[in-house]
Amino acid sequence: VDYLCKSIYFSDDDMDCLAERSTLLSMIPRFVVDVCCYHFLKFNVTKVFLPHAGSGMEGRTMGSPHELTLDAQQTEICKKMFSMYLCKLVTCGFPELVTWEYFDNVGLMHTAEPDLKHHKVIGRGGLCVDLMHLSVTLAWTLDVLTLAFASPL
């Protein structure tokens, strides 16, 4: 954990800032997720991943990326998972190894690694989302969260 924190210059001051703003931050993940999905659904390259998402779904699956909307079931499932991730991100205990293991597992879930318990439970292989899309989403989210940190309490 010491190595991970030092390698990204994540200090005790950063952890204190997160703790100080945890109430505010715990309220914004759903907003951030909605804005993020609205933004990325403008691009066909990001829409193409959602029509094939079928885990936990009932009813009609959108057959084409052009049919996807913010309230489509595939989008809602993605938004729910992203909200859970963001809540964890802004409220977790960074000095704890279990936190870093969680983030590592989130990364593994988005690869083609078929042996994860998560994939077996939902009856499908890995998600295999290109690193490029994960990186762009993380960068975009970081920009939004930075604005939340920069605003006065």
pTM of the model: 0.71
| Residues 46-63: tens digit of each pLDDT | 777 665 555 555 656 666
Domain assignment of residue 67, given as a range: 2-92+137-150
* Mean pLDDT, range 79-108, rounded to an integer: 83
**How confident is the model at residue 78, as a pLDDT?**
80
pLDDT-based confidence at 23, cuts 50/70/90?
confident
Domain membership flag for residue 109:
no
- Residue 50 · residue 74 · CB < 8 Å: yes
Mean pLDDT of all residues in 16-27: 78
The answer as to whether 78 is a domain residue is: yes
CB 55 within 8 A of CB 124: yes
Q: How far apart are CA 29 and CA 82, in angstroms?
A: 8
Query: Which residue is listed with tokens 């049919």?
Result: 67
**What pLDDT is recorded for position 19?**
79
Flag whether 116 is in a domain: no
What domain count does the chain have?
A: 1
